[in-house]
């Protein structure tokens, strides 16, 4: 590590290291999709979603019961399906 004098030099050096390590693509103007949504779920919400999914409930009904935006529920459904924790349906996210 080079000798860094000021806090700003240290911060810039650290940021450059992090960018090289984690940024896979160079980006100029960032757009964060679904930034306004709450994609953090309590375990009880995940369990209830799994139960309702098995019962054949649709995404709108699940969202209403859990008090969540339908896109938040869609993201959780995709997550759970990707991990094979819920089964796919012929109608997809619907009933």
Is the CB of residue 60 less than 8 Å from the CB of residue 74?
Answer: no
Cα 61 from Cα 76, distance rounded (Å): 14
pLDDT attached to residue 83:
96
Q: Is the pTM of this model over 0.85?
A: no
What is the reported pLDDT for 94?
60
What is the per-residue pLDDT across 43-55, written as a single tens digit (0 to 9) for each?
A: 999 999 999 999 9
10 Å CB burial of residue 18 (0-12, 13-18, 19+) is exposed
Arithmetic mean of pLDDT, 68-93:
92
Structure tokens at 13: 């050096």
- Whether 14 has a pLDDT exceeding 70, the answer reads yes
CA 27/CA 24 separation, integer angstroms? 9
In the chain, what are the domain boundaries? 7-82
Tokens (6 digits) for 57 = 């409930």
């Amino acid at each position: 590590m080079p000798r860094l004098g000021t806090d700003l030099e240290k911060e810039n050096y650290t940021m450059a290291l992090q960018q090289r390590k984690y940024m896979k693509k160079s980006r100029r103007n960032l757009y964060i999709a679904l930034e306004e949504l709450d994609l953090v779920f309590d375990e009880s919400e995940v369990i209830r979603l799994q139960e309702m999914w098995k019962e054949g409930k649709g995404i709108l009904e699940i969202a209403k019961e859990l008090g969540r935006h339908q896109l938040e529920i869609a993201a959780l459904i995709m997550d759970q399906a990707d991990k094979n924790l819920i089964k796919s349906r012929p109608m997809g996210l619907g009933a």
